[in-house]
Amino acid sequence: MFWLSYVIIAIILMGLIYTYYYDIYLTQVLIIVNMVIFIVILGAEMYYPGIMGLIYGDLAGRAIYLGEPGLLLTHGHTFLTMMFLHGGIMHVFGNIMVLFFIGMPLEDRVGKRLTFIFYIVAGLIATLGQYFFNWLQFALGGAPFEVLTIPNLGASGAVFGIMGTLVYLFPKDRITMIIPPLLLPNVRVDLAVGAFIMIQTGIALFAGTGNIAHAAHFTGLAGGIILAYYAKKAGIVQREKGPVRDYTKLKKLLDDEEKKKIYQNIIEADEIEVKEAWSEHLIEKSECPRCGRQLEDSRCKCGFNVWED
């Protein structure tokens, strides 16, 4: 492999290791790693034209790898690395924006470890789905051999995977949704994801395939839903009746280090019951950020409500 390819792999691994050992959102680290890798590759291409092709040759995925045991052995790492490569600024920007608005709410609800599992496994499912689709295109004679060698890259399959996980587990929760140039707060998860699916379907039907891996998007979404189903069935994730709280709203109460530590316990907890217990404890120790009175069961006499304001 080219030397810069090893640097890219090191950035990915360091980001994941850092997330494991430190109290930080996995979603934030994934966004930073994707951006850093894009900037590194773009900068290298500016100084050494053609280097981007070498890196993509080493780290991007290709359907041909699935049909050749030898290539699968030597390029198995691409199933991970391809999720951190992007073809342009709009490609990476679109993925990290959706990842932020979908990944952060999911991580608040199920914790860092489960978010990582959902993200990676759904990304792998999305990749396999795209590869099988490419092979089907070739086998049926509707596409040339080159369809098996086209580089596959991007985080969108994994992003659609956690989108499927979130909508299955917490359909009635409310999140912020972005449809450029609109930023829509307080949208139900099922409506937001439904809108994304409709947009994706419309693009696939009317704009053609182009350079977009539609099969990866749809199989990633389905993979996320399936993973969420089995996680819930196994009792790993408990889906609450009715909406689950948006714990990020508690940030407005963090005016000292003790409260910041309590909030960290909230976002790191995997069980809803634990999150709720820590939330109650934080509220009991907090004053209204609007008028300074002691809060009473998340409310204040001035009309302020922790969960609504």
Q: Look at residue 159 in the predicted model and tell me its pLDDT.
A: 95
Question: Whole-number mean pLDDT of the chain?
Answer: 88
pLDDT at 270: 65
Phi/psi at 25 (nearest 5 deg)?
-65, 130
The whole-angstrom separation of Cα 244 and Cα 279 is 12
- In this predicted structure, the answer to whether residue 140 has a pLDDT above a threshold of 70 is yes
Alpha carbon distance 31, 25 (integer Å): 10
108 closest CA partner among 52, 201, 47, 25: 25
The per-residue pLDDT for range 63-89, each reduced to its tens digit, is: 999 888 888 888 999 999 999 999 889
Give residues with Cβ within 8 angstroms of 273, minimum separation 6: none
Write the DSSP string, 54-104. Answer: HHHHHHSB-THHHH-HHHHHHSTTHHHHGGG--SSHHHHHHHHHHHHHHHH
Cis peptide before 181 (omega within 30 of 0): yes
Q: 195-199, 258-262, 305-309: which range is least confident on average?
A: 305-309
Q: Are 293 and 299 in contact (CB under 8 A)?
A: no
Predicted model pTM: 0.77
Provide CB contacts within 8 A for 235, sequence distance 6+.
none
pLDDT recorded at residue 206? 65
Residues 14-28: tens digit of each pLDDT: 999 999 888 889 999
How does pLDDT run across 170-219, given as a tens digit for each residue? 988 888 888 777 788 888 899 999 988 888 777 766 655 557 788 999 99
> Which of the two residues, 240 and 142, has the higher pLDDT score?
142
Other residues' Cβ atoms within 10 Å of the Cβ of residue 176: 17
Exposure string of 269-305, with b = 16+ CB inside 10 Å and e = fewer, is beebeebbebbeebbeebebeeeeeebeebbbeeebe
**Strand partners for 177:** 184
pLDDT at residue 65, as a whole number: 93
Q: Which domains does the chain have, with CATH numbers?
A: 3-233 (1.20.1540.10), 245-309 (no CATH)
Give tens-digit pLDDT for 44-62. Answer: 999 989 999 999 999 999 9
Is pLDDT at 244 greater than 60 in this prediction? no
Least confident of 90-94, 229-233, 247-251: 247-251
Length of the chain: 309
For residue 240, what pLDDT band results from cuts at 50, 70 and 90? Answer: very low
Residue 280 has a pLDDT of 87
- Interacting residues of 133 by C-beta distance below 8 A, sequence separation 6+: 215
Residue with tokens 């839903």: 225
Mean local confidence (pLDDT), 101-108? 91
Query: Residue 5 has what pLDDT?
Result: 95
Q: What integer pLDDT is reported at residue 242 of this predicted model?
A: 44
**How large a percentage of the chain has pLDDT more than 90?**
48
Mean pLDDT of 262-278: 80
299: pLDDT strictly greater than 50: yes
